[in-house]
């Protein structure tokens, strides 16, 4: 798999065995690790929120900032989109101090399965970089995307390569998901921080829990 800085994913299939038309190392899942229920949801690729009626714009303005993203996403799927109305709503929220500068709370929802609009854009390693007072990455990769793609297109124990690793979101997540992470990065500060995240992930995977001792 190849990750790019434009938040696009390109994946290339290994050359097939011409005698059987199968790859020599196919991605396979057991029914216990990857249930039919999960496969059906992943294969569909688009999720809808439940609700017994549509919200009004006045109700949306009264929603707390913590829940505003999900509420507006659903509202935008259920109504005909109007750009000017969208801008006006954002302006009103701004006047009410409910339009944060660090993330978008009124992002429109998608009507197509080809777009994942349920990704938490704030869930990145930049949060940890900020806490550690380290250099922030200019374009951090969302952990939700990485977890979903690794789970869908690889087996446990596989090697996951990110040739533009940044602060090593992909290798670190691969380690946490029982894969092997391999990252390449030119920026020495990003590389140093990324190696630290990978080591922390390895330590976390190797550290026994209370339940481990109970089983013993």
- 148 located within any domain: yes
CA angle 121, 124, 125 (to 5 degrees): 165
Chain mean position to CA 215: 33
Identify whether residues 85 and 173 lie together within a single domain. no
Containing domain of residue 107, as a range? 53-117
Identify whether residues 84 and 72 lie together within a single domain. yes
Q: Check residue 45 and give its pLDDT.
A: 58
Q: CB–CB of 183/170 below 8 Å?
A: yes
Q: Check residue 159 and give its pLDDT.
A: 95
Q: Check residue 164 and give its pLDDT.
A: 92
**Residue, of 183 and 111, whose pLDDT is higher:** 183
Q: Check residue 53 and give its pLDDT.
A: 52
- 193 located within any domain: yes
Q: Check residue 172 and give its pLDDT.
A: 94
Question: Which neighbouring-strand residues pair with 121?
Answer: none
CA angle 9, 49, 10 (to 5 degrees): 5
- 25 located within any domain: no
pLDDT winner (highest mean) among 74-88, 123-137, 155-169: 155-169
Point out the domain boundary residue: 94, 117, 140: 117
User: Which structure tokens are listed for 148?
Assistant: 């979903």
Question: Based on the structure, what is the number of domains in the chain?
Answer: 2
Identify whether residues 198 and 131 lie together within a single domain. yes
- C-alpha distances (whole Å) from 118 to each of 20, 108, 176 are 39, 11, 22
Point out the domain boundary residue: 117, 138, 156: 117
Of the candidates 150, 145, 143, the residue with the CA atom closest to the CA atom of residue 167: 143
pTM score, whole prediction: 0.54
Q: What is the CATH number of the domain that holds 137?
A: 3.40.50.150
Stated length of the chain: 216
pLDDT digits (tens, 9 = 90+) for 38-80: 878 777 756 554 444 556 767 777 777 777 777 778 788 777 8
- 84 located within any domain: yes
- C-alpha distances (whole Å) from 136 to each of 24, 61, 105, 154, 168 are 40, 32, 22, 29, 13
pLDDT digits (tens, 9 = 90+) for 150-183: 998 999 999 999 999 988 999 999 999 999 999 9
Identify whether residues 216 and 123 lie together within a single domain. yes
Identify whether residues 215 and 123 lie together within a single domain. yes
Q: Check residue 46 and give its pLDDT.
A: 66
Average predicted confidence (pLDDT) for the chain: 78
Identify whether residues 126 and 105 lie together within a single domain. no
Q: CB–CB of 126/113 below 8 Å?
A: no
- % of the chain beyond a pLDDT of 70: 76
| Spatial separation of the C-alpha atoms in residues 216 and 209, rounded to whole Å | 11
């Amino acid at each position: 798999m190849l990750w790019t800085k434009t938040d696009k994913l390109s994946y290339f299939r290994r050359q097939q065995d011409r005698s059987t038309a199968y790859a020599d190392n196919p991605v396979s899942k057991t029914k216990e690790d990857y249930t039919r229920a999960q496969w059906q949801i992943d294969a569909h690729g688009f999720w809808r929120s439940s609700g017994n009626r549509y919200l009004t714009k006045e109700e949306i303005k009264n929603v707390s900032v913590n829940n505003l993203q999900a509420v507006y996403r659903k509202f935008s799927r259920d109504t005909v989109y109007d750009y000017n109305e969208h801008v006006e709503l954002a302006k009103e929220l701004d006047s009410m101090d409910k339009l944060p500068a660090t993330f978008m709370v009124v992002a429109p929802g998608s009507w197509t399965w080809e777009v994942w609009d349920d990704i938490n854009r704030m869930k990145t390693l930049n949060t940890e970089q900020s806490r550690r007072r380290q250099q922030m990455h200019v374009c951090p990769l969302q952990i939700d995307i990485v977890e979903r793609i690794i789970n869908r297109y690889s087996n446990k124990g596989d090697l996951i390569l990110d040739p533009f690793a940044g602060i090593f979101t992909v290798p670190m997540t691969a380690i946490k998901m029982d894969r092997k992470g391999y990252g390449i990065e030119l920026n020495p500060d990003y590389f140093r921080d990324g190696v630290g995240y990978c080591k922390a992930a390895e330590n976390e995977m190797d550290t026994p829990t209370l339940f481990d001792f109970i089983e013993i």
